Amino acid sequence: MSVKITTWNINSVRLRINTVIDFLNAHQPDVLALQEIKCLEDQFPYDPFRAAGYNHIEVSGQKGYHGAATVSKLPQSRMDTQFCPNGDARHVSTVIDAGARNFELHNFYIPAGGDEANPETNPKFKHKLEFLDIMTDYFSSRFTSGDAGQVLVGDFNIAPHENDVWSHKQLLKVVSHTPIEVERLDKLLGTHDFTDCARHHADEDEKLYSWWSYRARDVFKSNRGRRLDHIWVSPALKPAIEAVGRDGFEIHTEWRVKEKPSDHVPVTQVLAI
């Protein structure tokens, strides 16, 4: 069985619901993890998703800010997880029933961190690092009892690799690519030897981006992007990405230039369960 998973920071699901449905109709992922939905649970546009065949929906909403939702064709059950030290709506954890086996899907919207990479003077950056530390503690503890199969997805707001940004040297002091953030993310990656799907499939010198600023007049001409959106798998699911190879992974760059686009594009990984 193949399971197609897509993650997308949609930057307001109600504003872009038609775009989302167009994407679902075109690409038919089994599971769509959304971040920055910017609405409460009772404001979420359930009906269009259900009409498109996505009947299993879990939402963590917040008025005007943040928020995450996982919509699925496959049955899913909510997990009781807490990651945000400020109590913001920034994650949804579910168990996906893929028939042959279940796996956990952890959908994250990690804080952006503000403008200054100093936790002593910037509370937003401190919040980001604390969020990452809580994630690291959680998954370190979980894996002491084995690997049930975890997929971590979402807008991590960190571009860790030197070719995940348009200029490694110029962005070393810019939040999202600073050494302190990359070190924290690498520590999380190492809690149970997670595989970063994008970098597993790509050559080391290949530029990969999933976000481009709204400030760019011609997005792809300047091409000053960053890879902020990630899909990771635990070792138990690494064979499931290797079985489909590079063709099973895609960054849907064309969705950055749709009408009224998000500044992020969808990222997809197929699992051969």
Query: Residues 15-24: pLDDT tens digits?
Result: 999 999 999 9
H or E element in which residue 243 lies: none
> What gap in Å lies between CA 43 and CA 256, rounded to an integer?
25
Q: Structural domain of residue 107, as residue ranges?
A: 2-272
Strands 195-196 and 229-233: antiparallel
| The token pair that represents 7 in the structure block | 């993650």
| The token pair that represents 71 in the structure block | 């919509």
- Give the per-residue pLDDT at 216: 84
Single-letter residue type at 92:
V
pLDDT, mean of residues 32-52: 98
Cα dihedral 83→173→154→12 (10° resolution): 100
pLDDT, mean of residues 123-131: 98
Asked whether the predicted pLDDT for residue 140 surpasses 90, the reply is yes
Taking the whole predicted model, whether its pTM rises above 0.85 is answered as: yes
The pLDDT-based confidence of 146 (bands split at 50, 70, 90) is confident
- Give the per-residue pLDDT at 100: 81
Assign residue 125 the CATH number of its domain.
Answer: 3.60.10.10
- Give the per-residue pLDDT at 132: 98
Cα dihedral 242→199→74→62 (10° resolution): 170
CA distances from 86 to 59, 61, 79, 110, 181 (A): 18, 14, 19, 12, 19
Number of compact structural domains in the chain: 1
Single-letter residue type at 240:
A
> What gap in Å lies between CA 251 and CA 90, rounded to an integer?
22
